[in-house]
Structure 1
Amino acid sequence: MKKCLFLCLFIYLAKGVFGQYTYTGVVLDSKTNQPIEGAYLITDSAAISTFTDVSGKFRFAASSASCQIEIKCIGYTGFHTTISYNNALQILLNPGQTLLQDVVVTANAGEQFKAIGKTDISMRGVNNSQEVLRIVPGLVIGQHQGGGKAEQIFLRGFDCDHGTDIALAVDGIPINMVSHAHGQGYADSHFIIPETIENVNFKKGPYAAEKGDFATTGAVDFNTRNALTNNMIKLEGGMFNTYRAMAMFNVLNRQAIQKQQSWYMAAEYRYTDAYFNYPQHFNRFNFFTKYNGRISKHSYASISASHLNSKWDASGQIPGRAVEKGMIGFYGALDPTEGGNTSRTNINAQLVATMANGDLMKHQLYYSYYKFDLHTNFTFFLEDSINGDQIRQKENRQMAGYNGSYMHKGYLGNVSLVTEAGMAIRADMTSNSSLSHTKDRYTLLTPIKLGDITQTDIAAYLNETIRFNQHLSLNVGLRFDQFNNRYNNQLASDSTLTGIGLYTANANIISPKTNLYYHVNDALQLYISTGKGFHSNDTRAVVVQKGVQVLPGAYGADIGMVSKPAKNVLINAALWYLYLQQEFVYSGDGGIVEPSGKTRRVGIDFSGRYQPFRFLYIDADVNYAHGRSIDNAKGQDYIPLAPVITSTGGITYTNKNGFNGSLRYRYVGNRPANEDYSLTANGYCIADMVLNYTKPCYEIGLGINNIFNTKWKETQFATLTRLQNETLPVNEVCFTAGTPIAAKISLTWFFK
C-alpha cells in the first residue's frame, strides 16, 4: 500500500517538475494551406514559448492540462486560443500587414537576424536579381561585366571576391562553386527568379555548425515559395533597350491546395544593351518549377528544378588614364570582345518528416549541371604587346550532394534540450577546366592550364541547444570536414606541376562553435558568439601544396544585442572580431597560387528598423570595419579593397488606396586599393526609387536607378596594365563604370 501511495505521489510530482503534459499542433497559411515556419507561440502566463518548425508544427510541455496560447508571426494576423494537452490543434493564420509590433525578442538561440530578414523582404520586396543579395544588412555588391558574371561581394571588411568568404545557398543547394575557373567560391545567383523568393535567412560570422565551407563572414540561405497565392504575368521595359518578361502559374487547382499539395512554374526572359558605349546584347532565360506537398500525416516532400542560360558581351574594367587621355569614354572599353555565356541546371529533392515524439528528420538530394565560358582582359598589353592579354576561362561541371539532419527536442526538468546531428556530402567534378591566352575570344594563342578536377567534402556536425529558462540559452556545436582533391593535369607546359598526370591531396578540419543568448526582458536580448570557420582552396592549389595548410582557420567573436525600445522600433547591433590564420588563394586570372598571409579585422554592425505608422517603414544599416594584414609592416598592412564604412537604407510607403513605393540609398566610403594605401578605391552614394500603383488584379510600376545621375565607379581594382604603344606599364586603379540614371516601367497582372 505504501509503495502504491509513493508511486502515485511520484507521478503527481513528476507532472509538475518535468512538465509531462505535452502539447502539439500545426500552424498553416489560410490561403495556401502550407506550413508556416517560425510562428511564435507563447502561453498566457508567458512561462513557455516556442517556434514552429519547418513543417509548421510546435511541441512543448507544461504542468497544466490546458492553457491559453497566443501565436504571432510577421506578415500574419495574431491568433488566440485555448489548447488541451490531448488535442492536437490545426491553426490557420490569415495573411496580414507586416508590422514591427509583431516582432518578438526572445532568448531562443539563433533568432537574432530572422526578424530583420522577414520584415525587410516583406516590406521592401526584391525588384531584381541584384536585390537578392542586397537584402542582407551590410552586404555590398559590385558588377564588373554587365550582369552576366557573378557579383563581387563585400561584407564585414572583406572583399569576398565572387564568394570566397561567404556561403550562399538556395533551398539547400550550394551556390558557391569550388575550384571554379574564375576563382574559388564563385557564386552566381542569377538562376534565382526574384519573385519566387519567400524569405532570406542569413547568419553573420562562423558560428553555425551546420555551415561549413566559405562561411567565414557569414552565410545566406534563400528559400523559394512553397506555394503561390496568385498567378501573375509581369512585363518590364526601360532605358538602354532593356526588356523583361516574367510569369508564374499554379499547376494544381484549389482542391489540391486544400489537400496541402502545391505545384507551380515560373519563367523569365531578360534582354538589355546596357549603358556602355558598346552594346552588351545581354540576354538571360530562367525557368523554375517546384512541387511541395504533404505525402503522409507526418511528412512533406519538395521537388524542384531550374534552368539558367545567359549570354553577353562585356565592357570590362578600364584604366583611369585611358579615360583621362581621351582614348575612351567613361563608359567605354579597351577590349570590346570581352563577354561570356553560362548555364546551370538544378534538380532538388527534399523530405521533411516529423516523428511521433516530435523529432524532426530532414533529407535532401541535389544535382547541378553547369557550363561556364568567360573572356576577359585585365592587363591589356602588359604580357603580349602584339595580341593583347585576353584570357579565356572555361569549365563543364557536375555537382551532386546530400544533406541530412535529425533533431530531437526533450526536457530535463524545466530545461529544454534540442539536439541536432547532421551530415553533408558534396562532390564536384569538372571536365576540361581551362585557362587560355586568347585573341578575339576564340583564337587560342597559349594554353595555360587544362585538366579535370574532382573535389569531395564529407562533413558531420553536432549541435546542442540548452534553454535553461525564459532568459538564458546556450548553443554549442562541433563540425568536422574531410576534403579529398584530385587533379588530372592534361597540360605538360603547366609550370606549377611536374607533368601530365593525376595529383591528389587530402585535408580535414574541426570547427567548434559556441553561442550564448540572454533575454533581459521583452525588449532586449544580448548574445555572445565565438567560433571557428574556414574556406577551402582551389584543388589546383591544394595539390601543389600537397594538402598542407590548405584549410586555414577563421576565428571569430561577436558581442551583440537585439532590442525593441518601442513596439515599432527594432535594433540589431554587434561588435565583432575575425582573424584569418592563413589563406592560399588560387588566382583564376593568372593560374597561380597567391598566399595573402594572416589578417585581422574588427568592426561594428548596426541595423535599425522603425515603423512610425502602419504605412511607413524606415530602415538603415551602418557598418564599420578596420582590417589589417598581420604579417606586413605598419603602413604596408592595408587590405586591398576591404570596405571600411558602408551604409544602406531607405523609406518604404504603402497605402490602402494602392499607391506604394520606396526611396533607397547605398553608400560605400573610400577604401585602400593596395597595401600601402597609395591608391584609393573611391567611394560612392547612389539613390534608387520605386513607385507602384497596386490593385488586386494588376500593378503598374516605375523604377529608377541612380535618380541623381551620379557618375560613379561600381568596381575598382589596383592593376598593373600597359596600353597599346606604351613603353612602360602603370599600376593604377582600373574600374567598371556604374549605371547612370536608368528608368523602367512595369505592368503586372494577378489572377487565380
Structure 2
Amino acid sequence: MNFLQLKKLTLLLLTICAAQTAIAQHIFKGKVVDSATNQPIENASVYANGNSCITSKSGNFQMMMPGDSCTMMVHCLGYQKKAVKLTKPRERVVIALGAGSISLDEVKVSPHLSANSFYTLSALDLRLRPVNSSQDLMRLVPGLFIAQHMGGGKAEQIFVRGFDADHGTDLNVSVDGMPVNMVSHIHGQGYADLHFLIPETVSTYDFGKGPYYTDKGDFATAGYLNYTTKDALDKSLISLEGGRFNTFRAAGVIDLLSSKAKQNGENAYIAGEYNYTNGPFALAEHYKRFNLFGKYTKQLGQNNKLSISASTFSTSWIPSGEIPERAVVAGTTAIDDNGNAIKLPIAANPINRFGTIDSAQSGKSTRTNALVKLSSDLKNNWSLEDQLYYTHYTFQLHVNTTFFADDNDNGDLKYQNETRDMYGYNGRLSKRSYLGNATLTSTLGIGERQDRIYGPVYNSITHSGGFLESISAGDVKENNANAYLDETLETGKWLINAGARIDYLHFNFHDTSQNKAIISPKFNIQYTASEQIQFYLKAGKGFHSNDARAVIGNNGLQTLPAAYGADLGLNWK
C-alpha cells in the first residue's frame, strides 16, 4: 500500500467515526440573557452530564449530548442558578436568569480562555468594592499599582508586572475596544488618560499580563486592560459625595427607556459626573472634572445588535508639583549648593512637604469620543463584529520638574500643547466548530488607526508665559494597520491557543516619513486538573511603538521595540 492509498484510507476511517459520533449525539444550543434587561450574559457556565461550556459575548452556547433530552444547569456569579430541561435538539432556547446573591463558592478555575476565574473575581470586585474614580478602577487589577503626581488631572504613572509603564507605554488600555493610549503624545509615548470613564457606567473589565494575546497590539508588552461599559441599566442612580479640602462629587446614571422597550431589546441611558477638590496642599489645586456619557443599544432582529455611544470630558487643575527633600528639611523654599536659603517670589513661604516651589504650573485637557458597533451572529456558528470610533482630544500642560537648574533667571518652566483627531476601525470574524465535545474557535481580525496631531509644541517659557525656546514643534501623522489570526482548541481539560498578528505603522513628522512592520506570534496552553487547580504555559512576542518625532530623528532606529515573554505557572483556588 503506497502513501496515497494510506492517506485515503485514513480519511475514510475518520469520516466514518465522525459520522457515527454525530449519529450517537445530539446538539443542544441556547442563549442566556438577563431577565431584567434582556441583555445577553457573557461567560455564564452551562453544565450537563459532566460536560460544560460557557456562553459567548452574545450569550450563546452549544453542547453535544447523548440522547435526545437533557437537563442543563445554568449559573453566573450574581444571578440565580437555573435548571432547564431541553427536549428539542438543534432548536435554540432562550434562558433568562434573575439577579441573585453573590457567593465565592461559585467561583471555579475554568478551562476556558475567555472565562477564567479572574474574570469572575473581577466582576465580584466591581460589585462589592467602593469605586468613584478611574484611579479606583485601575486599582482593582491584581498586580497593578498607580501613582499620581503633578495634580489629579494627568494620567497616572502605572507599575505592573515589574514594568515602570510610565503613563501607559507598556500597558495597552482600552474602553469598549477603543484605544485609550495616545501615540506620539507630547507628554509621553502611550499616554493613557482614563479620566473620561465614569465608574458607574462600567459593567466588566478584562486584563491580561504579558504579550500573549493576539488581538492586543501596540503597547501590550507588560499586558493589557480593557473596560466594557454597560449596555443597559437595572436602575437609575444619583449620588452626592463630599469630603475634606473642599472636595465633592456629583454623579448620576439615568435610564431613558421603559421596561417594555428593554424586553424588545432596546436600551438607552445617560450618565454625568462633576468633581472638584482643592487638595491637601498649600497651593489650592482647584481641580475640576466634568464627564458626560450616553449609550444606545438596539437588537436588530434575532441575530444583530447595534450599539452607539458618545462621551465628552474636560478637566483643569493647578498642581503643587514635586519639591526637593532638602528644601523640606531646611523649611525654606529652596537652598543652594552651599546650604544657604533661597527665597523665591513664585513659591509659598515657608515650605513643608505640602508646599510648592513653582506655582505657575497648571494643566487642561479635553476628550470627546464617538463609537458605533454592530455585532452579528451569522449562520453555521459564524459571528462578525464591526466597530468604528472617533476621538477629538486636547492637552495643555505647564510643567517644571527642575525649577532653576537650567535657567537661574527665568526658571525651567515648560509648556506642552497638542490637539488631536483619532479615527479607527476594528473588525473581527469568528467561527466556532464543534468536534464532538471539543470546540475549535477561529478568529480573523483586522484594524486601522489614524492619528492626526496638530501643532504639538514643547517650549521653554517664562513664568509670565513668555516664549524662550522651542524644544519641539510640528504636525505629526501616524497610521497603524493590523491583522491577526487566532486559533483556540478546547477539548476536555486542555486548551491550546496559537496565533500571530502583523502590524504596519507609518510615521510622518516635518514631511519626512518612516514605515515599519512587525510580526508577533503567540502561544498558550492550559491544563485544568480540577475546579481548584490549573497549569499553564504562555509564550509570545509584543511591542510598543516609539514617538514619531524620535523615529524620524533617529532615522528609523528602534521604531518598534519588541518584548519577548514566557510564563510557566499555575492557578490555584
**What is the identity, as a one-letter code, of the residue corresponding to 1:479?**
R
SS at match of 2:379: coil
Counterpart in 1 of 2:82?
79
Return the letter of the residue paired with 2:102: T
| Aligned equivalent of 1:427 | 450
Partners of 1:418 and 1:540 in 2: CA distance: 40
**Equivalent position amino acid for 1:309 in 2:** S
| Aligned twin of 1:626 | none
CA drift at 1:441: 6.2
Note if 1:508 corresponds to 2:512.
no
Look up the match of 1:92.
96
Closer/same/farther in 2, CA of residues 281 and 521 from structure 1, 3 Å limit: same
Moved over 4 A (4+): 10-13, 17-20
Alignment of 1:255-654 (within 5 A): 255-327=260-332, 328-440=351-463, 442-467=465-490, 469-488=491-510, 502-564=511-573
Measure, in 1, the Cα distance between the counterparts of 2:388 and 2:105: 39
Give the % identical residues. 42
SS at match of 1:379: coil
Tell me the CA shift for residue 557 of structure 1: 1.1
Equivalent residue in structure 1 for 2:52, among 35, 39, 49? 49
Distance (whole Å) between structure 1 residues aligned to residue 24 and residue 103 of structure 2: 34
Query: Is contact 1:476–1:513 with CA below 8 Å preserved after alignment?
Result: yes
Distance 1:412 1:92, change over 3 A: closer
Task: Give ranges in structure 2 of 5+ residues lacking alignment.
Answer: 1-11, 333-350
> Alpha carbons of 1:439 and 1:107: their partners in 2 closer, same or farther (altered >3 Å)?
same
Q: 1:41–1:72: 8 Å Cα contact kept in structure 2?
A: yes
Amino acid at match of 2:300: I
Q: Quote the Cα distance in structure 2 between the aligned partners of 1:441 and 1:158.
A: 38
Question: Contact 1:392/1:441 (CA < 8 Å) preserved in 2?
Answer: no
Counterparts in 2 of 1:80 and 1:365: CA distance versus 1, 3 Å = same
Paired with 2:472 and 2:18, the residues of 1 have a C-alpha distance of 72
Equivalents in 2 of 1:221, 1:74: separation in Å? 20
User: Could you tell me whether the CA contact under 8 Å between 2:133 and 2:195 is conserved in 1?
Assistant: no
Q: 2:5 aligns to what?
A: none
Structure-1 separation of matches of 2:250 and 2:23: 58
Q: CA–CA distance in 2 between the matches of 1:125 and 1:419?
A: 38
| Kept in 2: contact 1:17–1:414 (CA 8 A) | no
Distance apart, 1:15 and its partner CA: 5.0
Shift of 1:106: 2.5
The match for 1:121 is 126
What amino acid is aligned across from residue 348 of structure 1 in structure 2? L
Q: Check conservation: 1:504, 1:546, Cα contact below 8 A.
A: no
Cα distance per residue 1:176-227 (max 9 Å; x no partner)? 0000010000000000011111111111110000001111111001011111
Q: Distance in 2 between matches of 1:13 and 1:261?
A: 42
Question: What residue identity is the alignment partner of 2:109?
Answer: V
Question: What is the CA distance between 1:413 and its match in structure 2?
Answer: 4.7
Cross-structure match for 1:155 = 160
Amino acid at match of 1:451: G
What does residue 59 of structure 1 align with? Answer: 62
Paired residue type of 1:82: K
Once residues 13 and 456 of structure 1 are traced to their aligned partners in structure 2, the CA distance between those partners, rounded to angstroms, is 47
1:676-725: CA deviations, max 9, x gaps?
xxxxxxxxxxxxxxxxxxxxxxxxxxxxxxxxxxxxxxxxxxxxxxxxxx
CA contact (8 A) 1:519 1:525 kept: yes
Q: What is the identity, as a one-letter code, of the residue corresponding to 2:570?
A: M
* Farther-moved stretch of structure 1 (275-284 vs 351-360): 351-360
Residue 495 of structure 2 aligns with an amino acid whose one-letter code is: S
Question: Hey, which of these two has a bigger chunk of strand by percent?
Answer: 1
Task: Give the Cα–Cα distance (whole angstroms) in 1 for the partners of residues 503 and 271 of structure 2.
Answer: 36
Task: Look up the match of 1:224.
Answer: 229
Shift of 1:546: 2.4
The answer to whether the Cα contact below 8 Å between 1:19 and 1:414 also exists between their aligned partners in 2 is no
Whole-Å separation in 2 of the counterparts to 1:18 and 1:117 = 41
Taking the aligned partners of 1:337 and 1:56, their CA distance within structure 2 comes to 53
Say if 1:76 and 1:93, in contact at 8 Å, map to a contact too: yes
Q: 1:386, 1:19 → 2: CA distance?
A: 87
Farther-moved stretch of structure 1 (387-396 vs 85-94): 85-94
What residue identity is the alignment partner of 2:99? P
What secondary structure sits across from 1:357 in the alignment?
Answer: helix
* Equivalent residue letter for 2:492: Q
Amino acid at match of 1:486: N
Unaligned runs of 5+ in 1: 1-6, 489-501, 565-752
Residues 363 and 398 of structure 2 are in contact (CA less than 8 Å); yes or no, is this contact kept in structure 1? yes
Contact map agreement 1:267 1:286 (CA 8 A) in 2: yes
Please tell me the root mean square deviation across aligned C-alpha atoms, in Å: 1.7
* Deviation per residue, 1:249-282 (Å, 9 max, x gap): 1111121111111100000111111111000111
The superposition leaves residues 62-103 of structure 1 with CA deviations (integer Å, 9 ceiling, x where unpaired) of: 343222211121111111111231331111111112211222
1:363-411 deviation per Cα after TM superposition (whole angstroms, max 9, x unaligned): 1000000000011001111111100000011000000100110110113
> What is the CA–CA distance in structure 1 between the aligned matches of 2:221 and 2:413, rounded to whole Å?
32
1:253 matches 2:296: no
Asked whether the 8 Å contact 2:431–2:443 carries over to 1, the reply is yes
Q: Is the 8 A contact 1:18 1:412 kept in 2?
A: no
Report the Cα offset of residue 11 of structure 1.
8.2
Cα distance per residue 1:519-562 (max 9 Å; x no partner): 11222111111111111100001112222331121011112222
Report if the CA contact (8 A) 2:411-2:463 is conserved. Answer: no
Contact 1:280 1:314 in 2 (8 A): yes
> What amino acid maps onto 1:76 in structure 2?
Y
Measure the CA separation in 1 of the matches of 2:110 and 2:468: 62
Give the secondary structure class of the aligned counterpart of 1:101: helix
Q: Is the 8 A contact 2:21 2:436 kept in 1?
A: no
Q: How does 1:158-173 map to 2 (within 5 A)?
A: 158-173=163-178
SS at match of 2:62: strand
The whole-number CA distance in structure 1 between the counterparts of 2:105 and 2:486 is 31
Q: TM-score, normalised by structure 1?
A: 0.70
Give the total of aligned pairs. Answer: 540
Contact kept, 8 Å, 1:59 with 1:358, in 2: the verdict is: no
One-letter code aligned to 1:507: K
SS in 2 for 1:130: helix
The verdict on how the C-alpha distance between 1:386 and 1:34 changes in structure 2, with shifts beyond 3 A counting, is: same
Q: Which amino acid aligns with 1:77?
A: Q
CA distance in 2, matches of 1:417, 1:308: 42
Taking a change above 3 Å as real, the CA distance of residues 63 and 16 of structure 1, as seen in their structure-2 partners, is farther
Higher helix share: 2
How far residue 16 of structure 1 moved from its aligned partner, in angstroms, is: 2.2
What is the CA–CA distance in structure 2 between the aligned matches of 1:51 and 1:236, rounded to whole Å? 39
d(CA) in 1 for partners of 2:464, 2:371: 34
Instruction: Give the secondary structure class of the aligned counterpart of 2:113.
Output: coil
Give the secondary structure class of the aligned counterpart of 1:153. strand
Deviation at 1:110, TM superposition (A): 4.4
Shift of 1:505: 0.6
Residues in 2 aligned to 1:289 and 1:105: alpha-carbon distance in whole angstroms: 35
Distance 2:234 2:372 in 1: 23
Q: Kindly tell me: are residues 61 and 391 of structure 1, through their superposed partners in 2, closer, same or farther at Cα, counting changes over 3 Å?
A: same
